[in-house]
Amino acid sequence: MAMKCSGLVLVVLFLVMLVGLPAQAREPDWNYSTAEKDIGSVAVSPDGSLVAVGAEQVHFFSRDGTLLGKEPYGTSVMMSADGKYTASVYFATLYFFKNPVPGGPADQQMRVKLWERELTEQVYSLDMSRDGSLIVGQTTGRGIFIINTRTSAVEGNNSRIISMIKISPDGSRIIGISQSEIQSYTLSGRLTHTADLTTFSAPHTVLLPLNGTFAVFNDGQMIRCVHSYNATELWRGQVTGYVTTLSMTPDGSAIIAGTDNDNIEKLDGQGNNVWKYASNKNNRQDATVTCTALSDNGAVISAGTADGRILFLNAKGELTDSFTAKEYIRHIAVSADGSTIVAASDHTLYAFTSGSSSRPQPLTTTPPSQTTSAVQSAPTTVPTQAPGSPPAPEGTSPATLTEIPTTYSVIRTSTLSPVTPLIPLLGILGAAFVLLKRR
């Protein structure tokens, strides 16, 4: 009898200790299934109040998961950084919407399609300025297009074959980048300058700071930063594996990389390694980091993995929460203030909105120096801008947007996730009961 009582006391103490430990599991505040329609991308407004999802139609959600409506069409979506507009792509057609304002006046709660444009070829990539006034992209035949969204006028250029085309967030620079060169374009699509660039592999992610003076991109296991006009290398950093995903704060002071060997790594604005988080401590199979995103001040970081985990980290690289979806996480987005995080598998959207927001710092155009580093690396001191910067590209005058009312006004509440925190505790109690019974 004494042995049984002693065993029971140990079990109770163990359970008390377990409950007292900080939880490392977080349930979505809501989720939404798109059935058999593949989710192509997700986007979230800077204050986290609006979520857009491309799944053949463009789904608009409020922060609490209310479906504000669906608009045809879109397999991929991109929201302007001010949260006012959303662009979507469906094969060779682009759509441009004025976003609804959740909680605003009744006349602002409806989304409005402003225009649509059909191109001659399927759209391959897309980028947009922070205020949504300019869209640049590329077709599958490597044709370049630039759209002034105020007039919906399309400019094109088919003279160059590049890997990606990007526009600086402030709309002042447009660059194309390939494995061998960087090109500069005017806002009307005219090629003005070409600079040689030597890389080991074609970049699949290119990031520009607010004014676009430099470009950060992946090159195998390296992350490189070059001047966006003359391709002068400013710095290069090395991570532990092949770079699968890359994200950056608007000022370029923090760069987050995901790798094929399951790590999440941070570099500072000079390419120095700051920290590394090993996301696959249990040696799971197929646990590659597939997507990353972070708030504007870098305080909130999130990543998705091929084995279905959604990870939440702070600026120091410490895991603060996680969720296991058990399906490949393909897309992730974090609001500028860090208050809303959305992730998506092929058919399910997961939204996390209960975390505290972190107020973004004022945006700057050059990356500040950082001296604290959890990973030792050789210091790299380089200028943030190289000589020979070009004058600002020629612009176009904006015009008044013409609204095209739509007839869609569907409002539904999304499906909520089941509550599961008690399942592990019940399992432990059951095991303890069996152990005591055997004694």
CATH number where 126 lies: 2.130.10.10
Cα gap 53→126, rounded to integer Å: 15
Neighbouring residues of 371: CB distance < 8 A, sequence distance ≥ 6: none
Residue 410 — pLDDT band, cuts 50, 70, 90?
A: very low
pTM for this predicted structure: 0.79
Q: Does residue 18 lie in a domain region? A: no
Question: Across the beta sheet with 85-90, what order do the strands follow?
Answer: 76-79, 85-90, 93-98, 112-118
- pLDDT per position as a tens digit, 136-170: 999 988 788 999 999 878 887 665 667 889 999 99
Identify whether 17 is part of a domain. no
Whether pLDDT at 382 is above 60 = no
Asked if the structure places residue 57 within a domain, the reply is: yes
H helix or E strand, kind and range, residue 431: helix 422-438
Q: CB under 8 Å to 167, separation ≥6 — which residues? A: 127, 128, 129, 134, 135, 136, 173, 174, 208, 212
Q: Residue 218 falls within a domain, yes or no?
A: yes
Residue 1 lies inside a defined structural domain of this protein: no
For the stretch 123-139, pLDDT in tens is 989 999 999 999 999 99
Query: Per the domain annotation, does 196 fall within a domain?
Result: yes
Which neighbouring-strand residues pair with 404?
Answer: 113
For residue 380, what are the domain limits? Answer: 23-438
Cα gap 37→34, rounded to integer Å: 6
Q: Please count the structural domains in the chain.
A: 1
Pairing mode, strands 76-79 and 85-90: antiparallel
172 assigned to some structural domain? yes
Q: For residue 204, how far is the Cα from the chain centroid?
A: 14
- 12 domain-assigned: no
95 vs 437, residue with greater confidence: 95
Q: What is the pLDDT of residue 157?
A: 67
Residue 409: exposure state from Cβ atoms within 10 A (0-12, 13-18, ≥19): exposed
